Amino acid sequence: MTTVAVPGSKSITNRALFLAAAAEGVTTLRRPLLSDDTEAFAGGLTALGYRVERGDGVWRVHGRPEGPAVAGAEVYARDGATPARFLPVLAAAGRGEFRFDGSAQMRRRPLGPLTGALRDLGVDVRHDGAEGHLPVSLSARGVEGGEVTLDAGLSSQFLTALLLLGPLTRRGLRIRVTRLVSVPYIGITLAMMRAFGAEVRQDGDVFDVPAGGYRATEYGIEPDASTASYFFAAAALTGREVTVPGLGEGALQGDLGFVEALRSMGAEVRTGADATTVRGTGRLRGITVNMRDISDTMPTLAAIAPFADGPVRIEDVANTRVKECDRLDACAGNLRRLGVRAETGPDWIEVHPGVPAAAEVGCRGDHRIAMAFSVTGLRTPGLTLDEPGCVKKTFPEFHEAFGGVFPAA
Ligand SMILES: O=C(O)C1=C[C@@H](OP(=O)(O)O)[C@@H](O)[C@H](O)C1
Ligand SMILES: C=C(OP(=O)(O)O)C(=O)O
């Protein structure tokens, strides 16, 4: 049995940074993730004038309930959608002129439903380039609140951003949601808001967020469940046993549910109070699975799918086409490069059994394509990645850590 220490969750680290910055008092964050996305978030806060003290495994954030200290700040989100989508609402709740931009990759990803909702709430937001995309400028003078309707069918992050904004408005916010993907991420948001003193009432598609701000706390960051998926998939593929501590029954992250897909394929899965173990049994069955709730793990499953004894069909993942790259296209295209039959539709991929042959995988600047196909590489001698360094978005040391547990084929 091998125990793998997986680094902290990106989603939890960046929410914790937001909440700590907006809170009254000084927050201590334990085991934050150190990666490009969290550097972008912490760097964005620093640009906005917040004080983030970074020690070894412990960060202290000085809250400013009144909002950013630098009224003309420019924030660069790099490739991170969480900084690009969460930080503008923090600025909107304050006062001043702010500008947000990101990498070419992030500029291509949608922002319009969020900026549209902010406009409906009276915030002066302008798209300086293409409508609905970064870069954006905003003139902030606080947000009154009230009722707003949101389409979160392309990304749950639009809803998370508005939920996070709610307690910072003057009157509170009622959010009516028409469509929603990646639902478990909303659970993470609500649980973390509660930990920082803000209670949200949910009645079906309507979320009521009272005014009242946030309170500083001590907060421990869970290991990243999406990152854990590569180690679990590798165990299932190679017949090994891997345990990830810190991700057990009480875990906040929906992506831990990826192990249920491995279980249906034939792996043995044990979830304890504070750890999850996957053991490969030598058998991988073909399955059909809906991954709407856990679509960051779609590439992980697609990457081991050729080794199943029947087709693997992954459904309801249209929004993976607007992530770091078009992930349905990237997964199918790379599987074909390896000589495996793979088909896609608007929101699905189907992978047929095959023996992948040596080829170079095109990562398209997407950490998840690089990490997922590293798992394929365990049973594909000669598989290489064109851009291995793109893993830095969420796990800069991925190749060393993964290679340490699973030496290359
Ligand atoms: O809120 C979050 O932290 C995230 C939500 C998900 O995005 P979508 O809601 O866009 O699917 C997920 O893919 C992303 O990696 C992180
Ligand atoms: C989609 C992802 O990231 P984000 O949307 O936070 O940029 C991801 O990490 O797979």
Q: Is 102 in the pocket of ligand 2 (CB under 6 A)?
A: no
Amino acid at 244: V
Asked if the structure places residue 231 within a domain, the reply is yes
Asked if the structure places residue 2 within a domain, the reply is no
C-beta separation of 234 from 405 below 8 A: yes
User: Can you tell me the distance from the alpha carbon of 144 to that of 289, in angstroms, rounded to the nearest whole number?
Assistant: 43
* Radius of gyration of the chain measured on its C-alpha atoms: 21
Asked if the structure places residue 182 within a domain, the reply is yes
Ligand 2 nearest atom to the CA of residue 366, by list position: 10
Asked if the structure places residue 76 within a domain, the reply is yes
Question: How far, in Å, is the centroid of ligand 1 from the Cα of 185?
Answer: 7
Asked if the structure places residue 4 within a domain, the reply is no
The answer for residues whose C-beta is within 8 angstroms of residue 42's C-beta and 6 or more apart is 17, 52, 54, 59
Are both 76 and 212 inside the same structural domain?
Answer: yes
pLDDT of 183 higher than 90: yes
Asked about 296 being catalytic, the answer comes back as: yes
CA geometry: angle 321, 322, 327, nearest 5 deg: 40
Domain end: 168, 185, 216, which one? 216
Question: Which tokens belong to 125?
Answer: 């937001």
Mutate which of 87, 296, 366 to test ligand 1's pocket (most atoms within 8 Å of Cβ)? 296
pLDDT of 333 higher than 70: yes
Are both 192 and 275 inside the same structural domain?
Answer: no
Q: Tell me: the pLDDT tens digits for 119-136?
A: 999 999 999 999 999 999
C-alpha dihedral, 262 to 263 to 266 to 267, nearest 10°: 70
CATH number for position 142:
3.65.10.10
Ligand 2 nearest atom to the CA of residue 368, by list position: 10
Query: Which residues are documented as binding site for phosphoenolpyruvate?
Result: 10, 109, 157, 327, 368, 393
Question: The domain containing residue 303 runs over which residues?
Answer: 225-405
User: Can you tell me the distance from the alpha carbon of 244 to that of 9, in angstroms, rounded to the nearest whole number?
Assistant: 13
Asked if the structure places residue 373 within a domain, the reply is yes
Q: Taking residues 143-161, report their average pLDDT.
A: 98
Are both 127 and 267 inside the same structural domain?
Answer: no
Q: Can you give the pLDDT at residue 143?
A: 98
Q: Tell me: the pLDDT tens digits for 1-57?
A: 899 999 999 999 999 999 999 999 999 999 999 999 999 999 999 999 999 999 999
Q: Taking residues 163-175, report their average pLDDT.
A: 98
Question: How far, in Å, is the centroid of ligand 2 from the Cα of 62?
Answer: 26
Provide the total of helices (H) and of strands (E) in the chain, helices listed first: 13, 24
Q: Can you give the pLDDT at residue 408?
A: 80
Q: Taking residues 342-364, report their average pLDDT.
A: 98
Query: Which residues are documented as binding site for 3-phosphoshikimate?
Result: 10-11, 15, 155-157, 296, 319, 323
Asked if the structure places residue 3 within a domain, the reply is no
pLDDT of 355 higher than 70: yes
Are both 83 and 138 inside the same structural domain?
Answer: yes
Are both 16 and 162 inside the same structural domain?
Answer: yes
Question: How far, in Å, is the centroid of ligand 1 from the Cα of 134?
Answer: 17
* Of 36, 101, 224, 296, catalytic: 296
This prediction's pTM: 0.98
Domain count, the chain: 2
Are both 84 and 208 inside the same structural domain?
Answer: yes
- In order, the DSSP letters of 318-363 are GGGGGSSS-HHHHHHHHHHHTT--EEE-SS-EEE--------EE--
Question: Which tokens belong to 50?
Answer: 């917040």
Are both 121 and 161 inside the same structural domain?
Answer: yes
Q: Taking residues 171-177, report their average pLDDT.
A: 98
Q: Is 394 in the pocket of ligand 2 (CB under 6 A)?
A: yes
User: Can you tell me the distance from the alpha carbon of 320 to that of 261, in angstroms, rounded to the nearest whole number?
Assistant: 18
CA geometry: angle 26, 395, 367, nearest 5 deg: 125
Are both 257 and 286 inside the same structural domain?
Answer: yes
Are both 83 and 208 inside the same structural domain?
Answer: yes
Are both 306 and 206 inside the same structural domain?
Answer: no
Burial status of residue 168 (CB atoms within 10 A of its CB: 0-12, 13-18, 19 or more): buried
Neighbours of 162 (CB within 10 A): 26
For atom 6 of ligand 2, which residue has the closest CA? 81
For atom 13 of ligand 1, which residue has the closest CA? 296
C-beta separation of 365 from 324 below 8 A: yes
Are both 118 and 14 inside the same structural domain?
Answer: yes
C-beta separation of 180 from 134 below 8 A: no
Domain end: 174, 199, 216, which one? 216
Domain end: 216, 241, 256, which one? 216
Q: Is 253 in the pocket of ligand 1 (CB under 6 A)?
A: no
Q: What is the mean pLDDT of the chain?
A: 98
Are both 377 and 238 inside the same structural domain?
Answer: yes
